[in-house]
Chain A
Amino acid sequence: MIEFLLEETCVGCDICADICPQDVFDTQASGPPVIARQEDCHSCRQCNLHCPVSAIHVSLLREPTPDLDRDAIVASGRISAYAEWLGWRKGKAPPGDKAHSLRLRELRGERAPDPGDRVRRQLYEVRDSNYL
C-alpha cells in the first residue's frame, strides 16, 4: 500500500503518475502529484522504483499504516531498500538481475527434497542443467 509521498523531496517529474498501473495519482499544474485514490493501490511498488529521488514509500501491507514515522523510514534507508535490492538507481532499472537467490543457494546450500516427492526430486536433480 502506498503510504506517503514526500512533497519536500519530490521534484515534480510526474513519472509516478505516468507509470502507476492503478491510476492512483492525480497530477497538478505545478508541484507534486497527489495520492488521490489510495484505495486503488495494489502494492506493486513501481512508483517507488521509478521515482528518481526516492520520495515515495510503499509498504507490503494490504492496509495503510496509521501514524507512520516517515522520518524513521527515510533515515533507516527503508524507503529505497527495495529499489536498491533490485538494482535500480535514480528511478532507472538495470538491464539485468542481481542474482540474490543464486547467492543464497551458493552460500547456504539447498535441502534435498523429500525422497517420496517424485516430482520435486526429479526437478531438483536436473536443476544444474539450468545454467548456460
Chain B
Amino acid sequence: MTTKRGLKDRIADGEVDLQLSTDVLVIGGSLSGLWAAISAVQAGARVIVAEKGYAGTAGPIAAGSVGSYFIRPDDPSHRDVMVNARMPLAFGLADSRWGEIILDQAYKNMLAMAQWGYKWPTTADGRQRPGGITPNVLIFLRRKAEALGVRFLDHCPVLELLLSDGYAAGAVGVNRKNGDGWSVRAGAVIVATGGTAFLSGAAGTGGLTGDGYLLGAEAGAEFSGMEFTSQFHIVPSRGALSKGAYRGSWSTLTDNNGKTITLGRQTVKAILETGAAWDTFDRESDPELQKLIFSSNYVSTQFFDDAGIDPFKEKYQVDFICEGSIRATGGLDIDERLSTRVPGLYASGDVTSREKLNGAGPPGGGPAAAWAQGAGYLAGQSAAAFARRLGSSASDRKVEGAGAAGLRPLRTRRDDIVVKDVVGAVQEHMLALDKNYWRDGASLKASLVRYGHLWTELRDGLAGADDADPRAEARSVLRAREAAALLAAARWMNSSALERPETRGLHRRSDFPNLDPNQTHHLISGGVDQIWVKRRAVDPNALIKEAAAA
C-alpha cells in the first residue's frame, strides 16, 4: 500500500485525485446554484455543480419551505405593487429596475417548472399558485438539471478558487465521502454558497459557513452592504426551524410579565429586558380550525409534537435566533450581469448583495427566494457566455490556488489553534442579541480588535490535521477552512457595521437608534488580511420609487 502525502500538501501542489474540466463551475447546489446550472446548460455550456452536502437536500430550503414572490408581468398593477410596495423598507438603497428584472426572471423560472411537470398548489377553483419553494422543488430541479446533462459533485465542498492571471479559472476541494481531493478547471465560475447563520443551530444552516465570501475576497471580489446582515428570527426555544409562518392571527406574544408584545424589536426587548418572551395560540377557539392550523403548518408544528407542548392550551417560550446573512441583504458586490469585479467570477443568491432589490431591508418573505431563482438564472447565462468567449483553451491556462487562511498557513501548523475555539469566539459576538441584533460602537470595536489578533494567529498556523483515516482528514481540512471563513465574514460585517453610525433596516445601532438621511449611501468592503470599508454613492440613475402614500 502506498502512503499518500497529506491532503493539504496534495491540494497545495495540485496533485489531486480527480481532475475535471468544464465550461461553467457552479459552487453550491441549492435553489440559486441549481437555477444557475440549468440556465448555463440550456445556454449550451458544459456544467459541473460542486456541493458541500448533496445538491437538492442541502441548504435552508431543504429543511423548511420558503415563499417566493411570484409576479405576473402581464398585470401592471400587480407588478407595480410587488416591485414598489417594499421600497419604503429599502430605505433609499434599492433600484426598482432591478426588482423588475429579477422578479420577471423568477416568474419565468417558476412557469418553466410548471411546463416541466411540476404541480404548483391549486386553489379549490383550479387556479395555480406558484411560489411555494419546498424541499420537493429542490429535488425536482436537481433531477431536471441531471436530465439536462449537468454533472453533480455531491459531498464535495470547494476549498479554494483557481485563478489564472486574475481570471477565475476553476476550484479545488475535497470529497467528504472518500477523503480525495479534486479540481475542476472552468471557463467561468458561479459562487452560490448562500449566507451564514454562524452555526446558530437554525435548521438547514449547518453547511452555511460563509465560504463563498472568503473564496470571492481572496480572488479580489468586493462586498456591498455587509452591515445589513443582522437577521434574527423567532424560533420556539429548543426548536430548530426558524420559520415564522406557523404563527399568525391565532397567536399572542407576551413578555415575561405577561404584557402583549409584537413580533420583532419588541420581542427582542422582552428577551433582553424581562428575561423571556412567550407565545401561545389563544386566538382560535374552534377545535376544527385549531386542527387545521396545526396540520397546515406541520413543517413547523412538528416541534410541538416533539416537545410535548399544546400551543392552543399553554404558552411556550420563544427565542430570536441568528440567521445572519441568510435572507438578509449584504454580500458579494455584483453588476447587472451578476459578475463580481473578478473576470469570470459570477455570484448569485444569498451570497450576493441584494441591496439592488431590497436596499437596507430584509428581502426574506418573498424577494430572497425570487432573487435566488432569478439571479441564479441570469448568472448562469452570463457565465456560459463568458466561457464561450474564452473557448476551449480555457482549461489549458496556467492556474494558481487562491486559498490562504485555514488552508495554507504562513508558518508551521499549530495544534493549539482549535477550530472550536475560533468558532466560539465568532459566535460569542455574532449570535448575541445585545451585540449583533443591537450593535454598538464599543462592542464592535472590541470584537474587531479581538478578531484581528485571532485572524493573525489563524493565518499563521491554522490548518487541518493529518489523519490516517482519509475521511477524518478531509473533515479536519474542511473545518479549518470553514472556521477561517466564519471569522472573515464576522470581520467584514462588523467593520461595515462600525462605519454606519445609524439605524437603517437590518442594521441596528443602540448608540445611534435613528436613521440618518445623510447616510443614504452604500458601504463597500473587501480585503482579507487588511479589511477596508469605503462609501459608494447611490447610483444616480437608480430608480428609487417611493410607493404612493395611503
| Chain A interface residues (CB < 8 Å from chain B) | 1, 18-23, 40-46, 49-50, 59-63, 65, 78, 81-82, 85-87, 93-104, 106-108, 110-111, 118-119, 122-123, 125-126, 129-132
Contacts and interface: CB of A to CB of B under 8 A. Distances in A.
Contacts of B155: 23
Contacts of B220: none
Given A101-B245, A130-B78, 15 more contacts: A1-B240, A21-B62, A23-B176, A43-B203, A61-B306, A82-B298, A86-B135, A93-B139, A99-B129, A100-B297, A102-B123, A118-B549, A122-B547, A126-B77, A129-B75
B117 A131 contact: no
Contact of A132 (B127, B295, B300, B303): B127
A88 to B, nearest CB: 8
B136 A81 contact: no
B241 interface: yes
B130 interface: yes
B481 interface: no
Contact of B54 (A19, A41, A118): A19
17 contacts: A20-B57, A21-B52, A40-B206, A42-B204, A60-B306, A86-B134, A86-B136, A95-B117, A99-B122, A99-B132, A107-B289, A118-B547, A119-B85, A119-B86, A129-B75, A130-B131, A132-B129
Contacts of A40: 206
B306 A97 contact: no
B410 interface: no
Contacts of A110: 249
Nearest to A129: B78
A105 to B, nearest CB: 9
Nearest to A57: B306
A17 to B, nearest CB: 9
A1 B206 CA distance: 12
Given A97-B120, A131-B129, A42 B52 contact: no
Given A43-B240, A99-B122, A87 B136 contact: yes
3 A-B pairs with least C-beta separation:
A21-B53, A96-B119, A99-B121
B134 A126 contact: no
B121 A98 contact: yes
Interface in B98-135: 114, 117-124, 127-132, 134-135
B265 interface: no
A106 B289 CA distance: 12
Contacts of B114: 132
A95 B143 CA distance: 11
A21 B70 CA distance: 28
Contact of B206 (A42, A118, A126): A42
B537 interface: no
- Among B114, B129, B550, chain A packs the most CB atoms within 10 A around the CB of B129
Contacts of B121: 96-99, 101-102
Nearest to B129: A131
A13 to B, nearest CB: 15
A85 B303 contact: no
A81 to B, nearest CB: 7
B481 to A, nearest CB: 15
Contacts of A65: 306
Nearest to B200: A62
Contact of A60 (B154, B203, B249): B203
Nearest to B208: A42
Contact of A104 (B89, B123, B292): B292
A61 B206 contact: no
Nearest to A43: B240
Given A96-B120, A126-B77, A62 B299 contact: no
A110 to B, nearest CB: 8
Nearest to B138: A93
A42 B201 CA distance: 7
B145 to A, nearest CB: 15
B445 interface: no
B63 A43 contact: yes
Contacts of B136: 86-87, 93-97
A122 B176 CA distance: 48
B411 interface: no
A131 B295 CA distance: 23
B303 A61 contact: yes
A122 to B, nearest CB: 4
Contact of A131 (B54, B59, B86, B128): B128
Nearest to A100: B296
- Among A43, A63, A82, chain B packs the most CB atoms within 10 A around the CB of A43
A122 B78 CA distance: 10
Nearest to B366: A123
A126 B78 contact: yes
A125 B154 CA distance: 43
Interface string B462-479: 000000000000010000
A65 B78 CA distance: 47
- Among A50, A60, A125, A129, chain B packs the most CB atoms within 10 A around the CB of A60
Contacts of A107: 289, 292
